[in-house]
Amino acid sequence: MENIKKERGDLVSLIVPVLNEEESIRPFISAINDKLSSLEAKLEIIFIDDGSTDKTVDVIRELQENDSRVGYVKLARNFGKEAAMTAGFDYARGDAVVPMDVDLQDPPELILEFHRLCLEGYDTVFGLRTSREEDTKGKRASAGMFYRVFNWLSHTEIPHNAGDFRLIDRKVVEALQKMPERNRFMKGMFAWPGFTSIGVEYNRPGRFAGNTKWNAWKLWNFALDGLTGFSTWPLRVWSYIGAVIASISLLYMLFIIFRTIAFGVDWPGYASLMSAILFFGSVQLISTGILGEYLGRLYIESKQRPVYIVEEFSEGSDNG
Ligand code: UDP
Ligand code: MG
C-alpha cells in the first residue's frame, strides 16, 4: 500500500464520553501520556461530559489548566453514550478521530497501530476484541447472537466483536455528520458509509475503576435500536407469515367444510377453537408490537429534536 500513503493524521482527536467517571479521568490521561508519547501526530483530547452528577467536570477543568490538549463539551443532561459520541465528532477538529472509553478498556497503545494503518491508507481502523473474558457467559452468547441476527437482517455488515473503539479519518466523520437520525446505533452507523477498513485484534481488559453503565434491559433495547435502525425486515416479514398462516387456514377450512358435509356436524371442538384463538391472538399482538417498535421510533425521528444539547464548551488551547 506504499503508493497510497496519505499525508494525513497530523492532528488526532480523542473523543471520550464520560458519565460519572471522576476517578478514571486522571489515570486515563496518565495512560495516554505513557503510551502515546511516540505518536507522530498532535493530540487533542475532548471529554464529553454526559450529564455527570459527580466531580467529573471539575476534574476535567483542573486538568485543562495544565494540559493544553484537553478540551471538553458539557452536555446539558445525560443523553447517552451514542449522543455524547456524536457531540464529540461534531467538536473534534482532528484529521483523524478516535472515540474511546475513559475506563482504559480501550488500550491507548493500540492507537499507535491504528494511526500507522490510517497513514497506510485505511479510512477506518477498528479494534477487534479477541477475548471477552470480562463479560459473563450470558453477555457473550447474547452479543454473538445479536451480531449474527443483525448481519442476517441488515444490508450493513458489522464485524463481530468490534466496539466503538476505532480511528476514523476525517472523511468518515463527515459522512457520519450527514446522518441525522436520532436513533444512533453507532456500530451500524460507522459501517454504513463504507470506505476502506481494517480490524486490529486486542485483548479487552476489565474496567479499571467504577461500574459499567449497562444492564440487561438497556442492552436489549440497544439491540432493538440497532435492528430497527438498520433493517425493515422485521416489519415486512408479517405479510409472509400472514400468507403462510392464511394458506394453512384455508386448507384447514376446506377440510372442516368437507368433513361437515360428509360426516355431519362435529359438535365438540373446544380445544381446537381455543388453540386457534389464542394462537392467532398472540401472533397478531406480536406483529402489532413490532409495528409499535418502528412507529415509536418513527415518532421520535419525526420530531427532529437535536441529538444533544450543549451547556458548555471549552476548547483546548493548544490547537490554534
Ligand atoms: N457513558 C456515557 N454516557 C452514558 C453511559 C456511558 O458517556 O450514558 C460513557 C462512560 O463514562 C464510559 C463509556 O461511555 O466512558 C463506556 O461506558 P461503560 O464502560 O459503562 O460501557 P462498557 O465498557 O461496559 O460497554
Ligand atoms: Mg467500559
| pLDDT tens digit sequence for 120-145 | 989 999 999 887 666 778 888 888 88
Summarised one tens digit per residue, pLDDT across range 229-265 is: 999 999 889 889 988 998 898 899 899 888 888 988 7
pLDDT recorded at residue 271: 81
Return the CATH architecture of domain 2-214+305-314: Alpha-Beta Complex (3.90)
Ligand 1-lining residues (CB < 6 angstroms): 17-19, 21, 50, 78, 80-81, 84, 101-103, 105, 207, 212-214
Taking the centre of ligand 2 as the mean of its atom positions, its distance from the CA of residue 103, in whole angstroms, is 6
8 Å CB contact between 171 and 138? no
Taking the centre of ligand 2 as the mean of its atom positions, its distance from the CA of residue 212, in whole angstroms, is 6
Which atom belonging to ligand 1 lies closest to the Cα atom of 213?
20
Q: What pLDDT, on a 0 to 100 scale, did the predictor assign at position 174?
A: 95
| DSSP reduced 3-state for 255 | helix
pLDDT for 3 beyond 80? no
Q: Given this model, what pLDDT does residue 129 score? A: 87
pLDDT at 6 exceeding the cut of 80: no
Q: What's the predicted TM-score (pTM) here?
A: 0.82
In the reported structure, the alpha carbon of residue 283 is separated from the centroid of ligand 1 by a whole-number distance in angstroms of: 37
The share of the chain scoring above pLDDT 70, in percent, equals 94
Choose the residue to mutate in 23, 101, 187, 218 for probing ligand 1, maximizing ligand atoms within 8 Å of C-beta: 101
Q: What is the mean pLDDT of residues 285-294?
A: 91
Distance, CA 165 to ligand 2 centroid (Å)?
Answer: 11
Give the span between the Cα atoms of 231 and 235, in whole angstroms: 8
Q: What is the mean pLDDT of residues 71-78?
A: 96
What is residue 2's predicted lDDT score, i.e. its pLDDT?
42
Q: Is the pLDDT of residue 304 over 70?
A: yes
pLDDT computed for residue 319 by the predictor: 52
Closest by Cα among 50, 47, 19, 45 to 32: 45
Q: State mean pLDDT over 37-51.
A: 92
Q: Give the pLDDT of residue 29.
A: 95
C-alpha to C-alpha distance for 26 and 92, rounded to whole angstroms: 21
pLDDT of residue 40: 86
Q: For ligand 1, atom 24, name the residue with the nearest CA.
A: 212
pLDDT, average across residues 282-301: 91
Could you give the CA distance from residue 131 to residue 32 in angstroms, rounded to a whole number?
23
pLDDT over 60 (residue 37): yes
Please name which of 139, 135, 289 lies closest in space to residue 216, comparing C-alpha atoms: 139
Average pLDDT for 286-300? 91
Which residue's CA is minimally distant from atom 22 of ligand 1? 212
Tens-digit pLDDT profile for residues 153-209: 998 888 888 889 999 999 999 999 999 999 899 999 999 999 999 999 998 877 767
Helices marked H in 92-212: 110-120, 137-153, 170-177, 186-191
| Atom in ligand 1 nearest the alpha carbon of residue 19 | 11
Distance 140 CA to ligand 1 centre (A): 18
Contact between residue 42 and residue 12 where contact means Cβ atoms under 8 Å apart: yes
Q: Tell me the domain boundaries of the chain.
A: 2-214+305-314, 233-303
C-alpha 292/C-alpha 156 separation (Å) is 23
Question: Which of 52, 60, 103, 211 is the pocket-test mutation for ligand 1 (most atoms within 8 Å of CB)?
Answer: 103
